[in-house]
């Protein structure tokens, strides 16, 4: 099969072009020893010296950057849609979970039942419970976050009177 019939013809090498040129101008005469190598080297040197270096093609952004951008865009879109009530927040959470993306920041209302033991000085059971509740309220409001204790739902159990506190102030009723 000739080179013209080949589906992907290979370009001629510089050496083959020079050999064909020698044969065209000097039919039947062999090329001088070293002529082909010397001439090929000189032509390559000339081309390297006078042709600008090829500029590398501008590569598209890395796939990792594209994926990170897409992940951010999906998360932000679902957050905005859930905030605007265009999509149910639980449905948005399921989509994010499926795509292995972090969940949406949501406001939670938590009801905790804690066994809490506080030691207070009081003159009676009800006064001790009221004082303990006041101490807890003061502690929670002093830390600067939005919390509320529903004292009506609180169970008031297990109060045990202890020793008398001689350092306690007189009750306000006596002053």
**Residue 92 class from Cβ within 10 Å (0-12 exposed, 13-18 middle, 19+ buried)?**
buried
| Domains of the chain by residue range | 14-47, 63-98, 111-152
- Tell me if 116 sits within 8 A of 135, measured CB to CB: no
Structure-token match 């099969």, residue found: 1
pLDDT digits over 65-95, tens only?
Answer: 888 889 989 999 999 999 888 988 889 989 9
pLDDT digits over 127-145, tens only?
Answer: 888 888 888 888 877 766 6
pLDDT at 145 (0 to 100) = 64
pLDDT at 159 (0 to 100) = 65
- Tell me if 126 sits within 8 A of 135, measured CB to CB: no
| Ranges of the chain with pLDDT below 50 | 1-2, 174
Of the CA atoms within 13 Å of residue 46, those in its CB half-sphere come to 6
Kindly write down the DSSP assignment for every residue of 75-129, as one continuous string.
Answer: HHHHHHHHHTTSS-HHHHHHHHHHTT-PPPP-----------------SSHHHHH
Give the predicted TM-score (pTM) of the model. Answer: 0.41
């Amino acid at each position: 099969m000739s080179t013209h019939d080949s589906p992907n013809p290979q370009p001629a090498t510089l050496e083959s072009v020079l050999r064909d040129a020698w044969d065209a101008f000097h039919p039947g005469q062999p090329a001088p020893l070293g002529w082909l190598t010397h001439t090929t080297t000189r032509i390559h040197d000339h081309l390297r010296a006078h042709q600008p270096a090829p500029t590398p093609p501008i590569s598209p952004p890395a796939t990792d950057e594209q994926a990170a951008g897409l992940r951010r865009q999906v998360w932000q879109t679902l957050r905005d849609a859930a905030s605007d009530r265009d999509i149910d927040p639980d449905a948005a959470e399921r989509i994010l979970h499926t795509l292995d993306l972090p969940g949406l920041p949501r406001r939670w209302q938590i009801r905790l039942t804690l066994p809490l033991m506080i030691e207070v000085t009081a003159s009676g059971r009800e006064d001790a419970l009221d004082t303990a509740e006041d101490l807890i309220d003061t502690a929670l409001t002093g830390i600067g976050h939005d919390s509320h204790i529903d004292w009506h739902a609180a169970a008031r159990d297990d109060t045990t009177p202890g020793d008398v506190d001689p350092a306690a102030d007189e009750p306000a009723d006596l002053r």
